[in-house]
Amino acid sequence: MNPLEHKYVEGSPDAPVLLFLHGTGGGPDDLVPLARELSPSSALLAPVGPVSEHGAARWFRRLAEGVFDYEDVVLRAHQLADFVVSARKEYEIENRRLVAIGFSNGANIAAAVTLLRPDAIHEAALFAAMSPVPSPPQHDLSGTRVFLSNGEHDPMAPLASADTLVRTLRERSAEVVAHRHPGGHTVTGNGLVAAADWLGRAK
């Protein structure tokens, strides 16, 4: 049995499987409208964050707003990676393309898994993400593709931290597309259009 509560909705075998990772206080259904805009026929794999913060589901603990418990980030990133590997076997989607789609806390855990466990995630579209861990291992991320959409006035995910994430990924040979919008901590229409274009340009 998979260790994370989740839902799986089958889709076309010709479309990528979308791994949806919600933000703080969210759930598996939160990002379904985004999925249908990004890839209408995709299968959806949507786990629930295992950490509770005053009743709000999260992917890892934090010490304060914007201050992550880095030990817990690493622990939970491996937990999610193991879930993904197990779920791909359970649902017989091991040979299909899988792309993580995350917002805020969900984007941060997706970034952590991408850096720490490229065997589980090597394509990710991240909305309002920050650098999740300091000094991650020097994995060769050649073949990894990451799209990031960040607001220029986002108080919760400052651009400086987002830029650190971009640099960290590129230093490890990942292919990164960095999209910027003039807003705050949100998913914009332009960001979705850019992400859909990125999703469709996979080699």
Full set of structural domains in the chain with CATH: 6-200 (3.40.50.1820)
Residue 189 exposed, middle or buried by CB count within 10 Å (0-12, 13-18, 19+): exposed
Residue 166 CA to chain centroid, in angstroms? 14
pLDDT classification of 128: cutoffs 50, 70, 90: very high
Distances (CA, A) of 44 to 97, 100, 138, 156, 174: 12, 10, 30, 27, 24
Q: Respond yes or no: is residue 69 known to be catalytic.
A: no
Q: Which two tokens stand for residue 19?
A: 């791994």
pLDDT confidence of residue 203: 56
Mean per-residue pLDDT, 138-163:
97
The Cβ of residue 179 has, within 10 Å, a number of other Cβ atoms equal to: 19
pLDDT at 1: 38
pTM: 0.96
Contact between 176 and 148 (Cβ < 8 Å): yes
Model confidence band, residue 32 (pLDDT cutoffs 50, 70, 90): confident
**Of the residues 122, 154, 161, 181, which is catalytic?**
154
Q: Can you tell me the distance from the alpha carbon of 86 to that of 68, in angstroms, rounded to the nearest whole number?
A: 27
Q: One of 39, 42, 104, 149 is an active-site residue; which one?
A: 104
Reply yes or no on whether 154 is catalytic. yes
Task: Specify the pLDDT at position 35.
Answer: 85
pLDDT score, position 3? 81
CA distance 145 to 161: 19
